[in-house]
Amino acid sequence: MSNLAEPESQESFSKQHYPNSRIKQVWAIGGGKGGVGKSLISANMAISLARTGAKVCAVDLDLGCANLHTCLGTEIPQTTLSDFFSRREPDINKVLIETEIPNLSLISGAQDAIGVANLKHTQKSKLLEKLHELDVDYLVLDLGAGTAYNTLDFFLSADVGVLALIPEPTSIENTYRFIKSAYYRKLKLCQSLFEIRPMLDMAMDQKNPLEIRSPADLLREVTRYSPDLGVRLREEIQKFRPKLLINQVRTQADIDIGFSIKSVCKKYFGVNMEYIGYLDYDSAVWQSVRRRRPLILEFPTSKLVGNFERMVHHILQEDKNQKSQLVY
């Protein structure tokens, strides 16, 4: 059970904080920019996951601009997270609705003025606590665009963070911004690195006096200050492994963007991003959205559906491999 009065920390948002939770994994789909396909990806990943037989709840955390229900082919539910946050409906199970897809439920996002930026720490913790009490195996969080702290915190709270982008300069630029912001936010929320918080704040300012211009510089300065903290910092950096997904691909050059971002992140941040795949630009997407039907149900034989299923199986397999490594 979480203590709502405790300060914000990475640990207080993570699954380990909810020992009674039956949830196997939380997946979050984020992206630096609007309209890159986060809701489409969340919906179809949630459906693919539910088709493996797991119980899944898709949660629309794009507060204020919720539209995950449309990608899942449901009407706007009567009760949404607006009711939960305003305490009109404190029981999260009553905010949850079943979809027409077996094993898949939906918690719809707020439709009104409660924007992500306005969500208080206590509301965020309360929501995570209640989500972890749900009787499901997986949560799939559809996040709003951008790098507001609440969005970053939900992204970082997940076991699997998928970063979606499209092959356009603005989206690529925002992806780097998202990675950088999530990276520093993660380190700042880490209790074992509490001592270097002032240095992290300083590192965010490009003109800082310690001349920390990159995460590599930060690691150097922290190690110089305390070799022990340097080791801890390196460990935390290694745990940060967002997955990259390029959507609306048209050419091989578009596909290759994933590999360049991965190598830039390794070089500049020391972060091992995983490029989990790409999705073609396909008219089946807008046709299914227009018909308010999930892509997977409307075009079950399309290449995109195959791609979603491959990615979902890959993520599940990776989790199994990690668990078996822990056993031996």
Ligand X SMILES: Nc1ncnc2c1ncn2[C@@H]1O[C@H](COP(=O)(O)OP(=O)(O)OP(=O)(O)O)[C@@H](O)[C@H]1O
Question: Which residues here bind ligand X, judged by CB under 6 A?
Answer: 31, 34-40, 62, 65, 145, 247-248, 279, 281-282, 285-286, 289
The least CB distance from residue 27 to Mg ion, in Å, is 15
Nearer to Mg ion, 35 or 306 (CB): 35
Nearer to ligand X, 30 or 215 (CB): 30
Nearer to ligand X, 221 or 309 (CB): 309
Q: Which of 96, 89, 81, 94 is nearest to 127 (CA)?
A: 81
Nearer to ligand X, 129 or 282 (CB): 282
Tokens of 49: 């996951």
Q: How many residues touch Mg ion (CB under 5 A)?
A: 3
Residue 297 contact, options Mg ion, ligand X, none, Cβ 5-8 Å cut-off depending on partner type? none
The least CB distance from residue 42 to ligand X, in Å, is 8
Q: Which of 197, 239, 241, 242 is nearest to 218 (CA)?
A: 197
Per CB under 5 A, the list member of 10, 39, 103, 151 interacting with Mg ion is 39
Nearer to ligand X, 31 or 258 (CB): 31
The least CB distance from residue 115 to ligand X, in Å, is 13
The least CB distance from residue 168 to ligand X, in Å, is 12
C-beta nearest to Mg ion: residue = 39
Residue 34 contact, options ligand X, Mg ion, none, Cβ 5-8 Å cut-off depending on partner type? ligand X
Stretch that binds Mg ion, among 31-39, 52-60, 108-116, 281-289 (CB under 5 A): 31-39
Amino acid found at 64: G
1 class by beta-carbon count within 10 Å (0-12 exposed, 13-18 middle, 19+ buried): exposed
Nearer to ligand X, 71 or 96 (CB): 71
Q: Give the x-and-dash track for 60-99 against Mg ion (CB under 5 A).
A: --x-------------------------------------
The least CB distance from residue 73 to ligand X, in Å, is 14
What is the rounded distance in angstroms from the CA atom of residue 24 to the CA atom of residue 33? 29
The least CB distance from residue 77 to ligand X, in Å, is 18
The least CB distance from residue 283 to ligand X, in Å, is 7
Residue 194 contact, options Mg ion, ligand X, none, Cβ 5-8 Å cut-off depending on partner type? none
Radius of gyration of the CA atoms of the chain, in A: 20
Tokens of 152: 């970053």
The least CB distance from residue 39 to Mg ion, in Å, is 3
Q: Give the x-and-dash track for 46-65 against Mg ion (CB under 5 A).
A: ----------------x---
Binding site for Mg ion (CB under 5 A): 38-39, 62
